[in-house]
Amino acid sequence: MSSAIIAIVGRPNVGKSTLFNRILGIREAIVHNLPGVTRDRKYADAEWAGRRFTIIDTGGFVPKSEDVFDRAIREQAQIAIEEADAVVFVVDAVTGVTPLDQEIADILRRSKKPIFLTVNKVDSAKREVDVHEFHELGLGEPISISALAGRLVGDFLDAITSGIKAETEEVTAGDVLKLAIIGAPNVGKSSLVNALLGKKRQVVTDIPGTTRDPVDSILKHNGKEILLVDTAGLKKKRRVKESVEFYSALRTIRSIERCDVALVLFDAKRGLDSQDQHIVETAMENRKATLIAVNKWDLVEKETNTAKSYELFIKDQLGVHSHIPITFISALTKQRIFKLMDRALEVHADQCRKIETSTLNDVLLPEIEHYPPKSSSPKEIKIKYITQIQTRPPVIAFFCNEPTLLQESYKRFLTNKLREHFGFAGVPLTLTFKRK
């Protein structure tokens, strides 16, 4: 999982999106020499030397402009700075220090975040002399790079990830289940926390973004402790209409990083939308056990098969994630909210489960023999041995003679068979294929 959030900021047209793309190794953001092309924040998971982090690309920061687009870009860049663990401040070696750079530097100093002053467009050793003038910004030693050519980007990544611990395979299990309650703004996250705790722990209104900081609470349920991680809305009152969704996404990432199980809350009246689906995908991509709760079920007019039809609709929309358990609840009336906690404990137990090697082979090898993998080459693919090599989340290793020839469709078949025989509802499964 990601262990840090790093924001890229700077005035327009200094190469922020080019650097973002260089870090990811793909053309993820739009790169153009017109200022203001990147208006919304883009964020993605990245990795360098075993250190994982979330990188945020922001639009061109213009502190005092009254242009409507500049105001929106500035607002969201400030949110990115607030949420980031560190900030990469990109400046341009060709144009040198500008008054706009000075203004942004003043803002960044006040943020009290670690700042990496990054001088872009240093395309050769001859341009290194241009780097020294950026000392006047008072943000420490400048780092010279060329994002377009890739020059010294490795040294730059070494510097910005130096404070991030390298990820290890081993995961230690705690006594307390950490349950993150995530979802789009105003779906009832704080109401659910209050209902579970039996007291008003959070301020609840109809205004999206009422919760200003994540608040952790301990719930004792059937003799077990569950740490409820409530996700925050916006920290400060400002012009936030265009920023609510992005800010919510950042806080969702934060909560997912910290949790054992992600509880994704939907609004029954609003229905399932693309933001809800993206939140589910984010939890699964971060390899977190996940369950879904459809809140405000008391407000839905029901017929005989309303719940069943709604559940089938959600599963159809979720596609490959249709295995995630779904519970219909009402935080207001407390309908099925404690059953939801039982399910969270079950999902967590599932992701911690270790299946015996003999059991895996006894169950899956006959399935493989009945439906063997097809090969696009003359070589026959034979899977000989299966074992589980990790829990939380489970990693299953398949040993075969030609692992590179296995098709994605057959990998999905094996995943489905694992779920069919061993459950793992809501648990992300990783299948790895090794040469025997």
- The residues facing 433 across adjacent strands are 398
Tell me the per-residue pLDDT of 90-107, one tens digit each, with 9 for 90 and over.
Answer: 888 888 888 888 888 888
Quote the pLDDT of residue 237.
Answer: 36
Tell me the per-residue pLDDT of 2-53, one tens digit each, with 9 for 90 and over.
Answer: 467 888 888 888 888 888 888 887 544 444 444 443 334 466 777 887 788 8
Enter the pTM of the model.
0.64
**50 Ramachandran zone, left/alpha/beta (phi>0; psi -120 to 50):** left
Contact status, residue 215 vs residue 201, Cβ threshold 8 Å: yes
Where are the alpha helices (H) located in 148-214, listed in sequence order?
A: 153-160, 189-197
Tell me the per-residue pLDDT of 224-273, one tens digit each, with 9 for 90 and over.
Answer: 889 887 665 433 334 444 455 555 666 677 778 778 999 999 999 887 88
Mean pLDDT in residue range 278-294: 90
The answer, yes or no, to whether residue 384 has pLDDT greater than 70, is: yes
Q: Is the dihedral of CA 121, 4, 282, 287 positive or negative?
A: positive
- 160 vs 88: CA distance, rounded Å: 8
Domains and CATH numbers, the chain: 5-160 (3.40.50.300), 177-351 (3.40.50.300), 357-435 (3.30.300.20)
Contact status, residue 234 vs residue 244, Cβ threshold 8 Å: yes
- 323 vs 315: CA distance, rounded Å: 8
- Tokens standing for residue 281: 């995908």
- Tokens standing for residue 408: 């994605």
Mean model confidence pLDDT for the chain: 81
Quote the pLDDT of residue 231.
Answer: 60
- 39 vs 61: CA distance, rounded Å: 10
User: How many other CB atoms sit within 10 Å of the CB of residue 115?
Assistant: 20
**Rg value, the chain, Cα:** 24
